[in-house]
Amino acid sequence: MMRWPGPRTRPTDTPRHSDAGNSGNSGNAGAGGRLGVAALVSIGIGGMVGGGIFSVLGLTVQIAGAGAYASFVVGGVAAALTGSSYARLSVLIRDRGGTATFLDRAFGTGFAGPLNLLLWLSYFVMLGLYALAFGSYLASLVGLDPTGVWRKIFATSVVLVFAGLNMGGAQLVGRAESVLVYFKLSVLVLFCVAGLWFVNIAKVSPSVFPPIYTIVYGGALIFLAYEGFELIANAAEDARDPERSLPRAYLMSIGVVIFLYVLVAFVAVGNLTPQAIVESRDYALAAAARPFLGSTGFVLIGVAAVVSTASAINATLYGAAKFTFLMARHGELPKEISRPIWHRPIGGLVMTAVGTIVIVNTVDIEGISLMGSSGFLIIFAAVNVAAIRLAGQGLRVWLPALAGAVSGVGCLVALLVYATLHIPTQLTALAAMIVFAVTAEVVLHSRRRVRGLSNAW
């Protein structure tokens, strides 16, 4: 694979979202870093294969039927195009602030502030999706109704438990994340390998696909299942030989996950009818394993789902808490959030946990997917535009980024059109999230301006 050319110029200002003591991007910083391609790929795969596939498989089949695996191709292509822009920006700006730093550098805080706030809201919407999946699978494993009140009780409880662990600094849980990545992958590979022998080709033939717009909508709705590859950007400053390792890491991690998701959906639809999967939508992957792995397979997939969604909740809470702390430090959220409570800056963690619990108990899974996928599509479209603004001139630079921006906007439009026609009530929550992000940032900007004038006097 050809190495990407390094940036012609490198900004010298200290990134706003850097950790204390990190200068982010200076010369060849990170050229001798600790993380090689394999480690970076693990970060990307671990970020994507969290609770996503366990959460949205049933929803995808409900929307796209036999074409569910094609919907995962649609979402994967959009993710891959955006991953190309992330790779270029990660080489140019190696900073732990990742997405937030890219947006700040490209657009300034006036425009990037609402986007960063929308990114935070999208994170705890995604947490709500993971938590509901955890509740559904756990309820099914212990013989309770996976669609009833116990799902929300378990979902609320797991958020509270991991919020508490993060408040205390759950180092043991953090160390277990790398082990859990391989456990999740092993179970999914077992599901695919065993299930392929029993696939009924007639069930997955393109001749029984729904209309193409439905497949595109399905891919857009479950786009957040691919969210997580951007975590590679947060580790970019520790990358070894970054101009070579970072592009490869994005390409390999997204490619592996696309292949895995498509294969999982192919096996699921090929072994159960779409109607049967929809009836067990909230624990669809476990139900799809029963025909060829029996009750043991159902339990194995159920346990993997519980472990995967729990670990994803833990990791996302940690990341979102750190993200909100940095935003508060730099004025994009109230500075009160960064003040220590019990000697720890946990304000962002508490707000994220509370917001997640509200989502869990007020929005259904389709509405959560709509909110989360729309939020990430908006953010990722903006990152593609940032790549055009920051990554230099030339067709090689802006054409992939333009394609990524167009694919993101196209998926978003498909999402909104379908939702308007079929689930218009779900648009209220999405609109509220976007309005809150813009309004809150306007209020914060006004407060900063008033304080600036007061200090001037």
Domains annotated for the chain, with CATH where assigned, are 37-442 (1.20.1740.10)
- Predicted confidence (pLDDT) at residue 398 exceeds the cutoff of 60: yes
pLDDT score of 56: 84
Q: How crowded is residue 251: how many other Cβ atoms within 10 Å of its Cβ?
A: 17
pLDDT value of position 449: 62
Mean pLDDT of 447-457: 54
Q: Give the single-character DSSP code of 140.
A: H
Q: The dihedral of CA 44, 323, 411, 109: what is its sign? A: negative
Nearest to residue 383, comparing CAs of 117, 98, 113? 98
The tokens for 271 are 């072994």
Per-position b or e across 113-128, b if 16+ CB within 10 A of its CB: bbbbbbbbbbbbbbbb
CA distance linking residue 372 with residue 226, whole number of Å:
11
Amino acid occupying residue 192: C
For the chain, what is the largest distance between any 2 Cα atoms, rounded to a whole number of angstroms?
Answer: 76
Residue 320: exposure state from Cβ atoms within 10 A (0-12, 13-18, ≥19): buried
CA dihedral defined by 104, 108, 111, 117, rounded to 10 degrees?
30
pLDDT for the residue 1: 35
Identify the pLDDT of residue 179: 66
Model pTM score: 0.82
Instruction: Return the amino acid letter for 359.
Output: I
Least confident interval from 4-8, 52-56, 290-294, 343-347: 4-8
* CB-based contacts of 393, cutoff 8 Å, min separation 6: none
The residue that leads in pLDDT, 229 or 173, is 229
**Bridge partners of 341?**
344
Give residue 139's pLDDT band: very low, low, confident or very high (50, 70, 90): very high
339 pLDDT band, cuts 50/70/90, is low
Give the integer Cα–Cα distance in Å for 415 and 397.
28
Q: Is pLDDT above 60 for 21?
A: no
pLDDT at 80 over 90: yes
Judge whether residue 254 has pLDDT over 80: yes
CA gap 84, 121 in Å, rounded: 24
Q: Does residue 120 carry a pLDDT above 80?
A: yes
Cβ distance 411 to 226 under 8 Å?
A: no
- Determine the Cα–Cα distance for residues 346 and 340; give it in Å rounded to an integer: 7
Give the angle 308-310-314 at the CA atoms, nearest 5°: 115
Which has more pLDDT, 329 or 233? Answer: 233
Question: What sections of 143-241 are H helices per DSSP?
Answer: 149-168, 171-175, 177-196, 201-204, 212-221, 231-234
Per the model's pLDDT, the better-predicted residue between 134 and 443 turns out to be: 134
Give the mean pLDDT of 313-329. 76
Q: Is the confidence at residue 11, as pLDDT, over 50?
A: no
Higher pLDDT, residue 322 or 229? 229
